[in-house]
Amino acid sequence: MKAKTITGNSPAEIEAALEESTKDGFKPTLVIITLTNTDYAETIQSLFDLKGIAIFGITTSQKFTSHGMQSEDLVAMLLDLKPDYFRIVLNDYRESPPYETGFQTGITGKNVFNNPGFIISPIDFKMSGDELIRGLTDAAGKDATIMGGVAGNPEDFSGVLFTNGSSSKGGLLALIIDQDQITFSGLAVSGWKPVGTAKKVTKSEGSWIFTIDDEPAMNVIRRFLGDEMINSEKLGTGLLPSDLGYPLQFQRASGSAIMKPVLFWRTADQSIMVGGEVKEGELFRFSLPPDFDSIDTVVESTRIIKEESMPDVDAVLIFSCVGRLGSFGPMITTEIEGIASTWNKPMLGFFSLGEFGKLDEGPCEFHGTTVSWVTLTEKQQS
C-alpha cells in the first residue's frame, strides 16, 4: 500500500495536487481529508466522488502532517488500499442515540469482515463517547480495535462529516479495516504525570461530578489548582467553560490511567463536567503541568512498538487532543516531529475534541488530553 499527503487552500488547489500526485501512476482508492471551511465540503465530496475515490472527510480547526502544522485549509492523505480491504459508513445519530449508532457500525463491521478494525470520527459535542464505544464493542467484541478522534471546531463544536453521497452534522463516520489484510496498530498515550493522593468520586451522573470525597466537586478542584483557575467575576453566571490544562487521571485496574479533562463548572451546585462518563466510587489523581517528559512519553510509545513489532509501516494517522495544543503551545511541534521521525512515512493528524484508543492491552476507551496514534500496513500476500 502506498500513501501520499496533499494540501491546498481551495478545492481547485486540491484537485491540482491530486493530479500532480498521480502523474507517476499512483491510483488512490481512498482519501482521508480534513478541512476547516465547511463550505468546501460539498465541492470536495463531488471532486473525489467523480474520481471514484472513497471519502473519509471531517472538519477540524487544526491539522498536521509529517512536515508539521499545516496552515492550508485542506489537508488530505491518499491511499491506494484495495477496495475489498475497507468499508466506510456514516451513521447519523440525531434520531438515534450514540449507543445504537455505535452498535450498528459494529454490526456492519462484523458483517463485512471476520476481523474488523475501526477508525472512527464522531461529531456533536453532546455525544457520549463512552456510549459510542460501548455500542461498538457490544456488536464487534470487547477486544475490537477502535481508534480515532472527535471532529469539529472547538470554538463552537460545529462541523460536518462526509463521505461519498452523504454527510452529517451529528453522526459517526467509520473507516472499517479488514485486519486479515491490513495490520492496524496503535495506542492512546497522554504523558501527563500524576500528583497527590487519590480522590474518590462520591456522587456523579454521566459526565457530571457533584461531590469528591463528599465535598462539592468545584471546591476540591479550586483547592488544588487555586482560585485563579476560575474566573471569579463570573462565578454567579451558571455554566462556565474550563480552560484547565490539568486532566484528572482516573485509575484503571491495569495500572494505567485514563485522562478526563474538566470541561465546565456549574456554579449553582458547585459541580464539574468532565470529558467522559464517571461512575461513583471511581478514583482519580490530579496532573502536574505538562513538560517535555510528557512529549517524550508519547514519542517513545511509537518507538517501542516499532522495535517490538512494527519495523515498517505504510501510513500513520494521529488524533491529538486540542487540549494538548493549548497546554504545550509551540512545543507541540516537537511531539509531531518526534512521532513522524519514528517511521518517516506519510502522516496525517488533527487536533480532536476527544480520542478513542487502547491504553495498553485492555479495551478501547474514550479519552481526553491524549494522543491516539494509528499505523496502517498492508500484509504481504503468500
* Amino acid 237: pLDDT: 47
Taking the C-alpha atoms of residue 201 and residue 210, their distance in angstroms, rounded to an integer, is 8
Q: What is the mean pLDDT of residues 343-366?
A: 92
Most confident of 243-257, 259-273, 333-347: 333-347
What is residue 225's predicted lDDT score, i.e. its pLDDT? 73
Instruction: Provide the pLDDT for residue 138.
Output: 96
The conformation of residue 85, written as its DSSP 8-state character, comes to G
pLDDT of residue 233: 47
When pLDDT is averaged across residues 141-166 and rounded to a whole number, the result is 91
Cβ-based neighbours of 226, under 8 Å, separated by 6 or more:
none
Alpha helices of the chain — where are they, by DSSP H? Answer: 11-21, 41-50, 98-112, 129-140, 217-225, 292-308, 322-328, 332-343
**pLDDT at residue 227 greater than cutoff 50:** yes
Q: Write down the pTM of the prediction.
A: 0.92
Average pLDDT, the chain: 90
Name the residue type at position 38. T
Residue matched to cell numbers 451546585: 269
User: Given this model, what pLDDT does residue 66 score?
Assistant: 94
CA nearest to 157, candidates 169, 174, 149 = 169
The 10s digit of each residue's pLDDT in 3-57 is 999 999 999 999 999 999 999 999 999 999 999 999 999 999 999 999 999 999 9
The pLDDT value recorded for residue 154 is 81
Give the residue from 126, 185, 188 showing the smallest Cα distance to 359.
188
CA nearest to 243, candidates 259, 224, 262, 226: 262
Taking residues 280-288, report their average pLDDT: 93
pLDDT band per the 50, 70, 90 thresholds, residue 239 = low
pLDDT at 197: 92
Q: What is the mean pLDDT of residues 235-249?
A: 63
> pLDDT category, 159, cuts 50, 70, 90?
very high
For 79-131, the pLDDT digits (tens) are: 999 999 999 999 987 767 889 999 999 999 999 999 999 999 999 767 789 99
pLDDT at 236 over 70: no
User: Above 80 in pLDDT, residue 254?
Assistant: no
The pLDDT value recorded for residue 382 is 57
Q: What is the mean pLDDT of residues 298-322?
A: 95
Average pLDDT over residues 170-179: 95
User: Which residue in the block uniquely carries the three cell numbers 461530578?
Assistant: 209
